[in-house]
Amino acid sequence: MGQNFLVDRNIRDRILDAAEISSGDRVVEIGPGLGALTSGFLERGAKVWAVEKDRGLYRVLTENLDSPNLELRLEDALRLDWEEWLPPPGPYKLVANLPYYITTPLLFRLLDYSGLFNPMVLMVQKEVGERLAAEPGSKAYGALSLKLKYYARVEKLFNVSPHSFFPRPEVFSQVIKVAPRSEPPVNVKNETLLLQLIETGFGQRRKTMFNNLRRAGFVGEQIEKALVHCGLGLQVRAEELDLADFACLAFSLQDWKEGETSG
């Protein structure tokens, strides 16, 4: 269950500072573990909702962190109905040293609760943090970076060495800040198509956008028109395109899709 506990007080405080935790804040924590961060939230006067999946840790926490400001729940964060559990109004600050194996599905699930969690300060595997925050042209840039950019602003804050945990993980960690957007940064008629184009574009990373779209069933002539319309060369690869480029392609190919259905 990705149980590497934070034992470095300095890093703990930097995380609390990054989330600007102060008295009266409403904080959600996923995977409180032995309570390293949880105790920090409580010391700063926040009210905390923490969800832990491990029954043994849940029991230890209940005994060690008895506070009227702590709501502890034994459950899988991926299955929890957050709106049913958290009293309105939001937003809640979400702070977590995330179990690495659930980072991506959990992050996108949390973003689905449009703005309920804002901001999110997350400790993730460094490599995942790099991918989430990557810009076009870099090695780490991919479908994940683009999809997250559509929903949120992402900022890399600092790296954390394996020495800050017990037991030590094999990899470095990174603390990132994710602020959900109230409006998407680009305009598209069909969000599903945009996300599909992003996935398709990176389907075979070394192939051109043209070839990847062809493989996904788009017609050559339409792809060519769309690329030209968006000012892109026929040899362009997904890794060179930013979100605005994908939005433009989605706009152009959408018309064709509609034409195809009505014709």
Residues that bind ligand SAM (CB under 6 A): 1-6, 30-34, 36-37, 51-54, 57, 76-78, 97, 99, 102
Measured from the CB atom, is 51 or 152 closer to ligand SAM? 51
Provide the minimum distance between the beta carbon of 1 and ligand SAM in the complex, in angstroms, as a whole number: 4
Pairing outcome for strands 165-166 and 5-6: antiparallel
Measured from the CB atom, is 34 or 249 closer to ligand SAM? 34
Provide the minimum distance between the beta carbon of 107 and ligand SAM in the complex, in angstroms, as a whole number: 13
Three-state DSSP class for residue 93: strand
Provide the minimum distance between the beta carbon of 29 and ligand SAM in the complex, in angstroms, as a whole number: 7
Measured from the CB atom, is 78 or 234 closer to ligand SAM? 78
Measured from the CB atom, is 4 or 212 closer to ligand SAM? 4
Q: Which residue is nearest to ligand SAM (CB)?
A: 31
Provide the minimum distance between the beta carbon of 165 and ligand SAM in the complex, in angstroms, as a whole number: 7
- In sequence order, what are the residues at sequence separation of 6 or more whose Cβ sits closer than 8 angstroms to the Cβ of residue 217? none
Q: Rounded distance, CA 4 to CA 194, Å? A: 37
**Residue 92 φ then ψ, to 5°:** -105, 145
Measured from the CB atom, is 76 or 83 closer to ligand SAM? 76
Provide the minimum distance between the beta carbon of 153 and ligand SAM in the complex, in angstroms, as a whole number: 24
Question: What 3 state SS string does 36-52 have?
Answer: HHHHHHHHCCCEEEEEE
Which helix (H) or strand (E) element contains residue 123?
Answer: strand 117-125
Give the DSSP letter of residue 175.
Answer: E
Q: Rounded distance, CA 75 to CA 12, Å? A: 24
DSSP calls for 6-27: E--HHHHHHHHHHTT--TT-EE
The CA-based diameter of the chain, rounded to the nearest angstrom, is 67
